[in-house]
Structure formats: C-alpha cells, structure tokens
Amino acid sequence: MRVIFALLLTAVISFSAFSQKSKSEIIKEFSSGVIDYGELTLNEYSPISSFNKIAYDQADKSITLTKENMASALSEAVAYKACFISVGTYTLVKVTDFNKKVMSGSWGCKLPFGEGYIQKGTLLHKEDYLNNIIGVPSSQRRMMFLFK
C-alpha cells in the first residue's frame, strides 16, 4: 500500500511540475497577436527584460513614462491596437479597458484598467487599475509600447 501511495504521489508531483507553463511561455501567450517572436527567445529568468528589447524594436511608438507625460501618453495610446507598459524588468501590463478609469493622485491623471504580470520569483498575474500594478512615479524606468 505504501509503495502504491508513493508512486501515486510521485506521479502527481511530476505531472504538476511538467504541466506548468514557463515564464517565457506565459509572456509569449500574453503578448501573442501583437509581438512577432519568430525565432527569438525570451530569457527564462528575466522574460520581461527580453520582452522590453523585442517590443522596443517592433513597437510603432515607444514612450518613457513620467508623471508629467502620463496623461498625454494615455490619450495617444487610445488610437493604437495594443498598449503595453513595463516597469523595469519585473512588471509587464497591457491596457485592457481605456474607458474604465480611476483617478490616481500619484500620477495626477485618470489611469485605465489593465492586466499583467509581476515577477517575484514566479510571474504573478494581476488585473487592476494601472496605478495598482505599475506603482507610483519614481526613478524606475517605465516604458509604454504602442502597436497599431
């Protein structure tokens, strides 16, 4: 009986380990239909950093976000098919609803709703208003990538 239990436990652990998607697969799926990865690969340990490099090359427009330009950047982003925002190498968010907004005191403008991933060892999925995902204005580099 113990042998059967041990075999079952091993099978369940092995199956769950193999069925989980890698970080790079999650980011590729999240940005599919917008980013053309072709033969390009994402760094498994830092897929958002790899995404930033590829998005910078493929985006129709890239904007470094600051408190001063956030409102105008978001106004411009409405005209594009897709809008991604990255914070450093650990946060990636896609704006999903420009009409669903909340006022952000930190950013001094209304920020839309989005979904994305924050890398804290694993990738944590989050759906919320941008201010709750990208944080407050700081010296960290925040990039907006716009795609037609």
Confidence at residue 7, expressed as pLDDT on a 0 to 100 scale:
45
pLDDT in tens, 22-39: 999 999 999 999 999 999
pLDDT in tens, 115-131: 999 999 899 999 999 99
Q: pLDDT means per 10 residues in the chain (148 residues)?
A: 50 50 96 95 95 97 98 98 97 98 97 97 96 96 98
pTM of the shown model: 0.86
Confidence at residue 86, expressed as pLDDT on a 0 to 100 scale:
98
The owner of tokens 């989050």 is 126
3-class SS letters over the chain? CHHHHHHHHHHHHHHHHHHCCCHHHHHHHHCCCCCCCCCCCCCCCCHHHHHHHHHHHHCCEEEECCCCCHHHHHHHHCCCCEEEEEECCCEEEEEEEEEEEEEECCCCEEEEEEEEEEEECEEEEEEEEHHHHHCCCCCCCEEEEEEC
Confidence at residue 20, expressed as pLDDT on a 0 to 100 scale:
86
Please, which residues have CB within 8 angstroms of residue 25's CB and are 6 or more apart in sequence?
none
